[in-house]
Structure 1
């Protein structure tokens, strides 16, 4: 029996994340993320491993409460505690907010997991500021 080794998260080709180009002006959306399920506990470690190191250690994540399965108040990701919050804000039903104290806040458009590839592509591109 052969066991396939998983690549480390930062080079995980299955992470569907596009970030807007870094610039001097603040942006409403910093990128787009297309998770594979609504199970945030399974999806979040991959996302956090794939964000730029310059973003620092993400200690807080806020998601739309209506979209995700029930969440605990916090989880441990790569030996670090990440606080999870839910929001019922109608203005951002498909968004996730990542916060690294002292470094910044990043808002990502969340493309629903059950979106087809054809429908997801323009959403991912728009979330990345038109950059693919």
Structure 2
């Protein structure tokens, strides 16, 4: 049984904070994603207004948003922001780790949605990977890769902690383990 710990920002705080975005630079290379978005919570009503405000200048007026309801506990039909309404749709066929933004004048953008409870280092890796121009990696593949990388990082940290708690090991300058009695005395050098 898996349980998910929700470490998210309260609704009032999420609406005051700027959107955390990483966008693909404008280029002729078309990729699977146009960037990444790291919301503070799983509340679309609180999270979409700052996202739309941040994208208005860069991309134009966003009119419609689609999500997969698997990652959002409540999917409203509309979200009011800055004197206008964003229409929100949901599709179970859509990648659950992706948000699709639509605009009448500019077109469509696909953003990787990084879960709000993601650690900073993992979110930074995901935001950088999603903003690579011309990348063929999908949102689902990026999240799967990060799960593997994150496990490796945690294992390495656990090994290092164990290493340090055991006192480490003496190594010769040639990378071979040594007995502590073989260490040079103060003032002598390795030759």
Taking structure 1 as the reference length, what is the TM-score of the superposition?
0.81
For residue 52 of structure 1, report the CA deviation from its aligned partner: 4.9
1:25 aligns with 2:21: no
1:110 aligns with 2:125: no
For residue 43 of structure 1, report the CA deviation from its aligned partner: 0.5
CA contact (8 A) 2:55 2:62 kept: no
For residue 102 of structure 1, report the CA deviation from its aligned partner: 3.0
CA contact (8 A) 2:64 2:87 kept: yes
Task: Compare CA radii of gyration and give the structure with the larger one.
Answer: 2
Taking structure 2 as the reference length, what is the TM-score of the superposition?
0.58
For residue 111 of structure 1, report the CA deviation from its aligned partner: 0.4
1:79 aligns with 2:83: yes
| Cα RMSD (Å) | 1.9
The whole-number CA distance in structure 1 between the counterparts of 2:110 and 2:89 is 14
Aligned to 1:47: 51
CA contact (8 A) 2:55 2:61 kept: no
CA contact (8 A) 2:37 2:114 kept: yes
Residue correspondences, number = 119
CA contact (8 A) 1:66 1:88 kept: yes
Structure having the larger proportion of residues in helix: 2
Specify every segment of 5 or more residues in structure 1 that has no aligned partner in the other structure, as ranges. 1-8
Structure having the larger proportion of residues in strand: 1
Q: Deviations over 1:18-76 (max 9, x none)?
A: 10111123221000000010001001011111115252211100012110121221122
